[in-house]
C-alpha cells in the first residue's frame, strides 16, 4: 500500500506541473483560437533566460545574496517573456487574424523553431543549472502509519505546491478581475466583445504575456529538476495530451487532465511496464489522448460542437 501511495503522490505532483504548462495552451486558444505549438519553446526560452540572468546579473552588480540575485533574474526574465509575447502578437499573429487554422498552426511552428534557435544563440547551448533553493533530499511521510513511511521528493513537493498556487491564482484572476472577465468575453465571442469596446489586440498581448509568465515558472521548475537543456521543450509538449484530454477551452479541464495523465503514466509504468519491458511512461499520455480523440474529441470538459443542417 505504501508503494502504491508513493507512486500515486509522485504522479499527482508531475500532473500538476503538466497542468501548469497546459494552462498556457488553453489561455491562448480560448482568447485567440490559436493552438500554440510554441508553448514548449517558450518554456525552454524562459528557462534559458532565467539560468543565464541568474549568472550575469549578480556578477555584473556584485550581488552575493543568492535570493536577491534570483529575484532580479526572475524580473529580468519576466520582462524578456513579456517582450517576446508582445512581439509575437504584433509581428506575427496580429497580422494573421481571421486566417485559416492551418496558417496559424504553421505560424506557431515557425515561432517554435525561431525561439529554439534564437534562445540558444542568445543565451548559449550548454546545459545550465537553475538553483532557486528548492531542497532535493527526499523525506518520509506517514511513518507512523506505514512501516518505513512514504518516500516523497521534497523538490517535487515544492514544485507541485508552487504549480497548484499559480493555477489557483490564474483561476481567481479569470473569475474575479475585470481583465479576466474581458478575456472570457473574448473567448466566448470575438465580435461581440469588440462591439462593446474590448480591444482585442490588447487582450491578446495580455494573454500571451500571462502564457509567458506561466512558461517562465514552468521553465524554472523543470530547469531546477532536469537542468536547462533542449529536452525541456519536449517535456513541455507532454501538455498536449493534457489539453486534448481536458478540453481545449477549459482551465479546469487542463488541471484534471494533467492529474489524470500524471497519475496514469506513473501507475502504468510501475505496475504494467514490467510486463512489456518498460517505457510505457513515454507514450502513455499520447495513446490516451488518441483514444479520447476517437471517442470524445472535445475532451472531458470541452464544448461540444453541434452542426445544424
pLDDT in tens, 2-18: 778 888 888 888 888 88
Phi and psi angles of residue 104, each rounded to the nearest 5 degrees, phi first: -65, -40
pLDDT over threshold 70, residue 307: no
pLDDT band, residue 74 (cuts 50/70/90)? very high
Higher pLDDT, 72 or 209: 72
Among 147-151, 186-190, 262-266, the range of highest mean pLDDT: 262-266
Per DSSP, helices labelled H in 124-229 are 154-176, 178-188, 190-195, 200-226
H or E stretch covering 152: strand 150-153
105 burial (CB, 10 Å; 0-12 / 13-18 / 19+) is: middle
Tell me the torsion sign for CA atoms 260, 261, 264, 266.
negative
CA distances to 108, 154, 180 from 170, rounded to whole Å, are: 23, 24, 9
Amino acid at each position: 500500500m505504501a508503494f502504491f501511495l508513493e507512486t500515486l503522490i509522485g504522479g499527482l505532483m508531475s500532473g500538476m506541473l503538466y497542468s501548469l504548462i497546459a494552462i498556457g495552451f488553453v489561455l491562448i486558444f480560448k482568447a485567440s483560437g490559436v493552438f500554440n505549438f510554441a508553448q514548449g519553446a517558450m518554456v525552454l526560452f524562459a528557462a534559458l533566460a532565467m539560468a543565464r540572468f541568474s549568472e550575469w546579473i549578480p556578477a555584473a552588480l556584485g550581488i552575493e545574496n543568492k535570493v536577491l540575485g534570483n529575484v532580479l533574474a526572475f524580473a529580468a526574465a519576466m520582462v524578456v517573456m513579456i517582450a517576446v509575447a508582445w512581439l509575437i502578437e504584433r509581428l506575427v499573429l496580429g497580422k494573421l487574424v481571421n486566417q485559416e487554422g492551418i496558417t496559424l498552426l504553421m505560424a506557431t511552428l515557425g515561432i517554435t523553431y525561431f525561439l529554439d534557435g534564437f534562445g540558444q544563440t542568445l543565451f548559449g547551448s550548454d546545459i545550465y543549472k537553475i538553483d532557486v533553493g528548492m531542497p532535493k533530499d527526499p523525506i518520509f511521510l506517514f511513518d507512523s502509519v506505514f512501516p518505513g513511511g512514504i518516500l516523497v521528493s521534497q523538490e517535487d513537493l515544492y514544485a507541485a505546491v508552487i504549480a497548484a498556487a499559480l493555477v489557483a491564482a490564474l483561476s481567481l484572476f479569470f473569475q474575479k478581475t475585470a481583465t479576466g472577465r474581458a478575456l472570457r468575453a473574448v473567448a466566448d465571442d470575438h465580435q461581440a466583445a469588440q462591439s462593446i469596446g474590448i480591444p482585442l489586440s490588447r487582450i491578446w498581448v495580455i494573454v500571451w504575456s500571462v502564457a509567458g509568465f506561466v512558461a517562465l515558472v514552468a521553465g524554472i521548475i523543470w530547469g531546477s529538476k532536469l537542468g536547462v537543456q533542449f529536452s525541456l521543450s519536449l517535456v513541455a509538449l507532454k501538455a498536449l495530451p493534457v489539453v486534448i484530454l481536458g478540453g481545449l477551452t477549459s482551465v479546469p479541464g487542463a488541471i484534471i487532465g494533467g492529474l489524470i495523465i500524471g497519475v496514469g503514466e506513473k501507475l502504468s509504468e510501475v505496475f504494467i511496464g514490467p510486463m512489456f519491458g518498460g517505457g510505457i511512461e513515454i507514450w502513455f499520455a499520447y495513446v490516451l489522448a488518441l483514444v479520447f480523440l476517437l471517442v470524445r474529441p472535445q475532451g472531458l470538459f470541452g464544448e461540444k460542437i453541434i452542426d445544424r443542417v
